[in-house]
Amino acid sequence: MPRMDEKVETIYHDVVSRNPGETEFHQATREVLESLGPVLVKHPEFTGHKIIERICEPERQIIFRVPWRDDKGEVQINRGFRVEFNSALGPYKGGLRFHPSVYLGIVKFLGFEQIFKNALTGLPIGGGKGGSDFDPKGKSNDDIMSFCQSFMNELYRHIGQYTDVPAGDIGVGGREIGFMFGQYKRITNRWESGVLTGKGLDWGGSLVRTEATGYGAVFFVEEMLKARKDTFEGKICSVSGSGNVAIYTIEKIHQLGGKVVTCSDSNGYIYDEKGIDLQLMQQLKEVERRRIKDYVQYRKHAKYVAKGNIWEVPCQVAMPSATQNEINGSDAAKLVKNGCIAVGEGANMPTTPEGVKIFLEAQIAYGPGKAANAGGVATSALEMQQNAQRDSWTFEHTEKRLQEIMKNIHELCYETAIEYGTPGNYVNGANIAGFIRVAKAMVALGVV
Ligand code: NDP
Ligand code: 2IT
């Protein structure tokens, strides 16, 4: 572990003891706090205003019961969360995750990361996150709708276009946003498009939002490669996951001349040496909602490896796009040994601290999630802009805006890393640049 500044270390220990058992939240705060020692030296006013202490304490945490009736008539109970972490720069903004592993520690790590990610976009959005331990896998459409409606029966009183604007994350896509928007509209009698993002294109959504996280992550890696006078052309790439982020990461890499040879789900991974057939993937995942093991029924030369380790596959660029802590120290070492020169995190916190250390020591181009995957939330903010204008932009215009935003985030992280004496370290660059933006706003807004 890198050494932490002494003052900051005290704050970190306080965070751990005030939030027992929330290991992912501890991991996310530790990683950010490790970067902040030199910032306090340059900005002593942040210490006096207790900015770090305040930033680590969510403004509001909501936990609620979600009772619903399944399609067999049985009553089910889940737990719902919304953590409204920081609103210094704008309304709370961040996704909702539906996955059985969701508990307060996961929602808080995601909400904490979201504060800095959103700040890096330069757009007026604060940080928040929510979700439920509901497992959408294998559920009928009716079950999904019942759950989403019950979830919104409580959530609606906490959100709004000027207050808190949720979107999707794992297990929450266009279908779920539709059911939740419908219920919000019914309860409030308001067609308030700015209350949720990731909406359908026919009812207030933005072109490119579906593609944005994956595309943005690839744009970020493209910038990192450019800084090393390199490109995606001809690169063998490994992508994990097979959901929203993975699919559009694969699409953009292929557009830029790279070849993606893997994808995965929680049961196993696909190796396709000819390059993943994206149309087939989209049919299986987006249209038919099937598992990726079915891919090899249609691509006979491809291999499905059940329970295997995807990071064993040699690649030059790795883009983890599934979930937190999916690359550990030994995976990172394997990637580096096999010739990986760039890692762009589509997922949130997919690399363990041991893995991060290995990437940084190897001096490969390592783009941490809060910078690399900011394109999703940035395009959500563009959706809010269009909603406020009662307008909708073209695909080309919106994608161009996204690309500019990713370029700016890259430059900001790159320059900040240099300014703070750690050139090439995008972890420090992202943590410091994101933190400073929020901290300055918090100082200006007073003790609130
Ligand atoms: P999806 O639900 O569309 O897809 C998730 C994918 O990751 C699935 O292939 C899923 O496999 C796999 N996965 C999820 N949990 C696990 C797990 N515990 N172990 C192994 N595999 C797992 O989600 P997204 O694509 O939207 O999200 C992927 C990542 O990107 C997440 O970390 C999310 O926080 C992050 N992200 C998403 C953004 C967005 O706009 N959607 C924006 C920024 C970041 P299975 O089907 O087997 O569960
Ligand atoms: O992690 C993320 O940035 C997201 N899931 C997207 C959040 C958003 O509000 O679009």
Residue 416: both structure tokens together: 């900040």
**Tens digit of each residue's pLDDT (9 = 90 or more) over 124-164:** 999 999 999 999 999 999 999 999 999 999 999 999 999 99
**Tens digit of each residue's pLDDT (9 = 90 or more) over 245-282:** 999 999 999 999 999 999 999 999 999 999 999 999 99
Contacts made by residues 71-76, CB under 8 angstroms, sequence distance 24+ = 71/140, 71/142, 71/143, 71/146, 76/147
| Mutation pick for ligand 1 pocket among 125, 244, 309 (CB with most ligand atoms within 8 Å) | 244
Alpha carbon dihedral 229, 232, 238, 240, in 10-degree steps, equals 100
Q: Of 405, 344, 337, which Cα lies nearest the Cα of 369?
A: 344
How far from chain centre, in Å, is Cα 93? Answer: 12
In the prediction, which pLDDT does 357 show? Answer: 98
**pLDDT beyond 80 at 328:** yes
What integer is the mean pLDDT of 82-100? 98
**Tens digit of each residue's pLDDT (9 = 90 or more) over 110-119:** 999 999 999 9
CATH 3.60.20.30 fits 60-203, yes or no: no
Fold annotation for 212-367: Rossmann fold (3.40.50)
Residue 241 pLDDT class (50, 70, 90 cuts)? very high
Q: Domain coordinates of the chain in residue numbers? A: 60-203, 212-367
Q: Name the closest-CA residue to atom 3, ligand 2.
A: 377
**pLDDT beyond 90 at 4:** no
**Of all helices (H) and strands (E), which one includes residue 259?**
strand 259-265
Domains 60-203 and 212-367 share a fold: yes
**pLDDT beyond 90 at 411:** yes
**pLDDT beyond 60 at 363:** yes
**What are phi and psi for residue 416, nearest 5 degrees?**
-65, -40
Q: Which atom of ligand 1 is nearest to the CA of 168?
A: 41
Specify the 3-state DSSP secondary structure of 74.
Answer: coil
Specify the 3-state DSSP secondary structure of 86.
Answer: strand
d(CA 174, ligand 1 centre) in Å = 14
337 catalytically annotated: no
Residue 424: both structure tokens together: 């090439």
d(CA 296, ligand 2 centre) in Å = 31
**pLDDT beyond 90 at 2:** no
| Composition of the chain by helix, strand, coil, percent to 5 | 50, 15, 30
> What is the Cα–Cα distance from 36 to 5, expressed in whole angstroms?
8
Predicted model pTM: 0.98
Residue 262: both structure tokens together: 């893997």
Residue 49: both structure tokens together: 């205003």
Residues 6+ apart with CB under 8 A from 351: 320, 325, 326, 327, 332, 343, 345, 359, 368
Tell me the pLDDT of the chain averaged across its residues.
98
d(CA 243, ligand 2 centre) in Å = 14
Residues with CB under 6 A from ligand 2: 93-95, 114, 117, 167, 169, 197, 348, 376-377, 380
